[in-house]
Structure 1
Amino acid sequence: MDASAKAIFLEQCGKNRGYRDADVRGFRPEGGVCLPDGPEVIASGVSMKAVCRGVAIGDLEVAFSRDAGRYVCDYTYYLSLHHGNGHAALIHVPPLSHRFPASLLGKALQVIIREMLEEARKPKRKAGFENSATVNPAKANQ
């Protein structure tokens, strides 16, 4: 959960470097690095951009992102992508509120995960990623 989020963010990749802040237990990766000899970036095998384009949940925004920040979420995502050979996903979800009740967020996660599974079943093709985030305002409820 991302306490400041106003949308759901589908993260495409995890980054290896730049971890300066400690997590809630005080853990800070040595040298700010997940894996000293690991690649700089590991992308999910699922095209989160395609998933983002394929979902519509009421007026809830679903956004594509290539930067999950440098905190426990991205650290865990990077390691999950590394150990899972690209088979992992990170979804940043806004906190429960009147605007985002559990029923809406639960439905949204069901739709997103279903779309991720469909996307994962598609034949792999070389992906081209943009450096900027794109937002998909949902148009209709699925």
Structure 2
Amino acid sequence: MDATAAVSRLLGAAADGRLEEVAARRGARLLTLFGSAARDPTRARDLDVAVLGAPTPVPGAAGSSPDLLGLVGDLVDLTGFDGVDVMDLAAASPTARHRALTGARLLAEAEPGLFARRQMAAALEFYETAWMRAADLRRMSA
């Protein structure tokens, strides 16, 4: 099985609701496909999937972690492809979150608009923290 066929199976599972069932069972509120598999599946070597877990009742705290290992197993079963990489959005850097949500393909969302809200938040965080990344680069090059 190649990545192109795996993407096709993944999108089919998203379209018919199987992926939403997997997401709910594994504690994921949001799943996106990003990277080369989202841009051009014919050139992809793996499937990059971003996942966001359940929120926490305490404002500002990270949410509960989804069952990442179980999710990977379910995605491998759904696609028949073992090249699945999963990123926990709550644990990712601003740059990684931005890349995983901007230009990504929505696979599953627990409530309407969640993907769009997370995309906007990731873009805002990425641009607001650009000065820190630039300062780090200057410091490392000195």
Higher relative contact order (CA 8 A, sep 6+): 1
- Assess same fold via TM > 0.5: no
TM-score under structure 1 normalisation? 0.33
TM-score (norm 2): 0.33
